[in-house]
A = this chain, B = another copy of it.
Amino acid sequence: MKTYLECIPCFFKQALEATRIAGVDEVKQKEVIIELCRLIPNLSLEATPPEMGRSLYKLIKERTGAEDPFKEIKQRNNKFALSLYPNLKKKVEDSQDKILTAIILAITGNVIDYGAKSSLNIEEEINNCLNGNFDKFNKAIFDYPQFRDALNNSKTILYLGDNSGEIVFDRILIEEILKEKGEKKEIIFAVREKPIINDVLIEDAYMCGIDKIAKVISSGSDAPGTILKYCSNQFLQTYKTSNMIISKGQGNFETLSDEDRQIFFLFKVKCNVIAKEVLTYNKNCKVGDIILKGDKK
């Protein structure tokens, strides 16, 4: 999808927040804002938002010297999500349709996001899930039968991770898929190559035990999404040859929504721009909705 003009105020907001998390003073913060003012006029609205996000966070890294400002936050998110793991597992096990429950949990886990940090309350959302208040989540698009079909017909599944913390929820979905469909399935879990916001890295995948159930690979890129032209050959090979792709989060949706092949996008709608974009698929959609999108327009 293209970048909307509404993304621009959000880039400034993110810039400010990230420089603060990096711990620099107001003078440095202002420098980043001014540098962003110089970048924006060259921004093509035809590019996807994570393309600009990539430039923005590169700039923040250069100006603040902070290689991975979200490192602590990521570790905290992983620990928090790991502490929920037993309850989440129980929730799935007690349910009728375990994969469906695991999907909804995985989408809810997508609320743990510092890029598109919104008014959504992480704990409240997760509690709604744990309490079984699934009715609270409006499913703006929910191509579950298509997801089931694809699962049945796929041997290799590429799972595109999004945020730290959230991957514990992904792990539960992957475990359910393997349990129900047997160990014949090969699942490859893709992480970002370099630190970008609170996006998942190899170390997070290990910390959250993803390596025990899936083959972990890197996208080869430092974009907060999957921009194919920046991805490694190894990743592109997997992308092309996998029978099914499960894509988590807004960033992966923003960068892959115009691709020709079928991709199952699982995410929580965290901003008005994404709500608008989903509306182009002729559905009602508002911030807070959950999406499982597998059909093309």
Contact = CB atoms under 8 A, between A and B. Distances in A.
Q: Of A12, A38, A119, which is in contact with the most chain B CB atoms at under 10 Å from its CB?
A: A12
Nearest to A40: B37
A86 interface: no
A30 interface: yes
Interface in A20-51: 26, 29-30, 33-34, 37-38, 40-41, 45
Contact of A33 (B5, B13, B30, B33): B5
A45 B30 contact: yes
A158 to B, nearest CB: 35
B29 A40 contact: no
A264 to B, nearest CB: 31
A149 interface: no
B12 A26 contact: no
Interface in A272-294: none
Main SS of the interface on chain A?
helix
Contacts of A37: 37-38, 40-41
Nearest to A12: B9
B29 A5 contact: yes
A57 to B, nearest CB: 16
A11 to B, nearest CB: 8
A8 interface: yes
A5 B16 contact: yes
A119 B33 CA distance: 25
A9 B10 contact: yes
Contacts of A119: 119
Nearest to A32: B5
A6 interface: yes
Contacts of A5: 16, 26, 29-30, 33
Contacts of A10: 9
A263 to B, nearest CB: 28
Given A9-B12, A30-B45, 13 more contacts: A5-B26, A6-B16, A8-B12, A8-B16, A8-B33, A9-B10, A9-B13, A9-B16, A12-B12, A34-B40, A37-B37, A38-B41, A119-B119
